[in-house]
Structure 1
Amino acid sequence: MQAIKQTHFNFEGQTAYYKGKVRDVYTIADKYLVMVVSDRISAFDVVLPEPIPYKGQVLNQIAATFLKATSDIVPNWVVSVPDPSVTIGKMCEPFKVEMVIRGYLAGHAAREYAAGKRTLCGVTLPEGLKENDKLPDPIITPTTKASVGHDEDISREDILAKGIVSEEDYIQLERYTRALFARGTEIAAKRGLILVDTKYEFGKADGQIYLIDEIHTPDSSRYFYSEGYEERQQKGEAQKQLSKEFVRKWLIENGFQGKDGQVVPVMTPEIVNSISERYIELYEQITGESFVKPDDEHVLQRVEKAVKKALETL
């Protein structure tokens, strides 16, 4: 199976290149971004040694599906999706906050709550909640976008007081975040899923706010299966999740949590293949569509050719 581990393209008009954990981003004429979603996979802030075939395609196509399904709510950065693993979009100046929204007490919020905290990012939580309980109303818990290290929780009040985002823009970001989450929740329910929490990133170009990056993917969101949710909550059992949690679980079982001195377990072809199959399963469950594996001669040649052709039309 072909997989995109890294790319080293040189496109006409290219003015910058950035390699993220998962994405390779090419800037064209300081106006457009070509985002190649590689098949690299990260966990515990570490990029694992083996790429996962089709993972990039899964993430890119889920994001493309949801960006299209929410374009009536907020304009987004996408100009075209010329290849299953590539999105070309408008270059925006990103806001320095990520808009995290939570409908349930899960993950980071649940850990903070268990530690006795009842205020998260300036939002007060009621007493008596259990992990994975539905919140009375979805809450927005923003984080700062750290250029180095981990993102940090921040309150609405601090964002405004520090002038990170203007009040006018921030009110609009909150409106968009709530509307996007409502739409994502509605679509998930049709697929037998619960959208638990997610994050959105926004940017600005020519005075206009745009939704950027990816949305509603298993890398940026947490989903539960609706069926059996209530029973599991009543029994205090773990919820059945749709996320890349299974990769973290496999790593933990094999003695790796990204700590000093720990070594990533050997990723055999069987393990790589099983992770690939799980990502395809995620795609089909979230979108309700069958996953189509591209019939290509060589994945990197295919990507390069598709991008070059798309750039000619810009």
Structure 2
Amino acid sequence: MAEQCVGAVLNTPKTVNPRRCSFSQLNQLHFSSSLCKMIPRKPQSGSLSIALNATSSSSAMASSQHLPPLSLEALKTSERRNEVMDAIQRSIGNCLSETHLDVTVPSLQSKTRGKVRDIYDGGDYLVLVTTDRQSAFDRILASIPFKGQVLNETSLWWFNRTQHIVQNAVVAAPDKNVTIAKKCSVFPVEFVVRGFVTGSTDTSLWTVYKKGTRNYCGNTLPDGMVKNQKLPANILTPTTKAADHDVPVTPDEIIQSGLMTQADYEEASAKALKLFNYGQQVAMQQGLILVDTKYEFGKAPDGTILLIDEVHTPDSSRYWIAHSYQERFWNGLEPENVDKEFLRLWFKNNCDPYKDEVLPDAPAELVSELAWRYIFLYETITKSHLQLPATEENIHDRITRNVTEALASLP
């Protein structure tokens, strides 16, 4: 039933009738999303033609010649899915929805509850606990088994591999759901980077574009684009917090309002674009398109800008299957995705997630499907298996023990 629900969301046709391209041609075309340009040509007979200039690294090409292209079918038929689904279903009642380490770990002080993370003051350090809460539309929609572990371990994997671009705040990772970080002054700006015109939320690029906006967060957008089309170049669309939601802002507004100095903004924005470019390259090597994401930065006491929070997770990022993207785009179909968009769309189709005081419960099959997709994405990118907990020990008890021991060992 999960596949039926998800498929109904993914396969909704659009009104565009693009020119067809043979599947064999698409299958042979390997492209790097950080290097390709999708350029609309003049429509002929009511169709849209897209020219794709592709350049790929020799290592990525070699990989594509020896491995079958990644497809969404692997989500439905792999042996790994059956193994993981059993664990997911056993753990639905053991999700980490709330934490209270300020009560169970004596050395921790105040607690800040975010949408997904609970942050504790540990004196010289911050203890960031990634829960299983699922957030969208500025609200909590559900709790997803193993989600917190996936987000935490995905971020740690990327933190380790992006130090050539920017330093990060990670000190230790004593638990599957926990990162201990250096304290720093956090910039009150989220650096949202986008490579495609897409999305379904009120602040998504497609939503504002179809309303006629052509200047967004300081970026000039070309006319004539359609949903899910690649932008001529990656763009930065920063947001800032107001009450409980994100507000798009321009670079000038950020600097004029004193949220960041011009020097800090220029450095952070340049690093954000480099991180995204690198993330697109890594994702493409594994058959994925990194569509958009967000980064957060802070400033250490010595003035160093640090990458904080999460990196390229399925919560902060949108991923599409690269192999099928072009053909589905040309056929007017939504891209095959490996993120939470299908759950967003389910809520949009069954309620008003922005206005309804009480939301319906997410179907159990969609919760399980999303948990598996998070794990699938982690394992696809890292080329490793997520180490599921060996026992069904209470997650909060495990975290309490591991955090207590870790803080005692830190200077």
For the structure 1 residues 238 and 143, does the alpha-carbon distance in structure 2 shift closer, same or farther, using more than 3 Å as the test? same
For the structure 1 residues 270 and 159, does the alpha-carbon distance in structure 2 shift closer, same or farther, using more than 3 Å as the test? closer
2:107 to 9, 13, 18: 13
**C-alpha distance in 2 between matches for 1:57 and 1:287:** 14
**C-alpha distance in 2 between matches for 1:232 and 1:13:** 53
Residue in 2 aligned with 1:39?
132
Structure 1 gap segments, 5+ residues each? none
**C-alpha distance in 2 between matches for 1:262 and 1:9:** 29
Q: Deviations over 1:164-188 (max 9, x none)?
A: 2111111111221111111101110
- Aligned partner of residue 298 in structure 2, secondary structure: strand
Residue in 2 aligned with 1:237?
333
For the structure 1 residues 27 and 252, does the alpha-carbon distance in structure 2 shift closer, same or farther, using more than 3 Å as the test? same
**C-alpha distance in 2 between matches for 1:136 and 1:229:** 17
Residue 170, structure 1, aligned to residue 265, structure 2: yes
Residue in 1 aligned with 2:121?
27
Q: Which amino acid aligns with 1:174?
A: S
1:239 Cα offset (Å): 1.2
Residue in 1 aligned with 2:160?
68
Larger helix fraction of residues: 2
Residue in 1 aligned with 2:277?
182
Residue 122, structure 1, aligned to residue 218, structure 2: yes
**C-alpha distance in 2 between matches for 1:199 and 1:236:** 27
For the structure 1 residues 271 and 199, does the alpha-carbon distance in structure 2 shift closer, same or farther, using more than 3 Å as the test? closer
- Aligned partner of residue 145 in structure 2, secondary structure: coil
**C-alpha distance in 1 between matches for 2:346 and 2:209:** 26
Residue 3, structure 1, aligned to residue 95, structure 2: yes
Sequence identity percentage: 43
Which is higher, the Rg of structure 1 or of structure 2?
A: 2
TM-score of the pair, normalised by structure 1: 0.92
Give 1:84-233 correspondences, 5 Å limit. Answer: 84-107=176-199, 108-146=204-242, 148-206=243-301, 207-233=303-329
For the structure 1 residues 27 and 134, does the alpha-carbon distance in structure 2 shift closer, same or farther, using more than 3 Å as the test? same
For the structure 1 residues 95 and 281, does the alpha-carbon distance in structure 2 shift closer, same or farther, using more than 3 Å as the test? same
How many residue pairs are counted as aligned between the two chains? 310
**C-alpha distance in 2 between matches for 1:93 and 1:37:** 20
2:143 to 48, 51, 62: 51
For the Cα contact (< 8 Å) 1:256–1:262, is it kept in 2?
A: no
**C-alpha distance in 2 between matches for 1:66 and 1:168:** 25
TM-score of the pair, normalised by structure 2: 0.71
For the structure 1 residues 127 and 274, does the alpha-carbon distance in structure 2 shift closer, same or farther, using more than 3 Å as the test? closer
Relative contact order higher in (CA < 8 Å, ≥ 6 apart): 2
**C-alpha distance in 1 between matches for 2:126 and 2:306:** 14
- RMSD in angstroms over aligned alpha carbons? 1.8
Which is worse superposed, 218-227 or 154-163? Answer: 154-163
For the structure 1 residues 142 and 6, does the alpha-carbon distance in structure 2 shift closer, same or farther, using more than 3 Å as the test? same
For the Cα contact (< 8 Å) 2:340–2:370, is it kept in 1?
A: no
Q: Deviations over 1:2-34 (max 9, x none)?
A: 3212111233432311122221111111x2111
- Aligned partner of residue 291 in structure 1, secondary structure: coil
1:291 to 386, 407, 410: 386
Structure 2 gap segments, 5+ residues each? 1-90
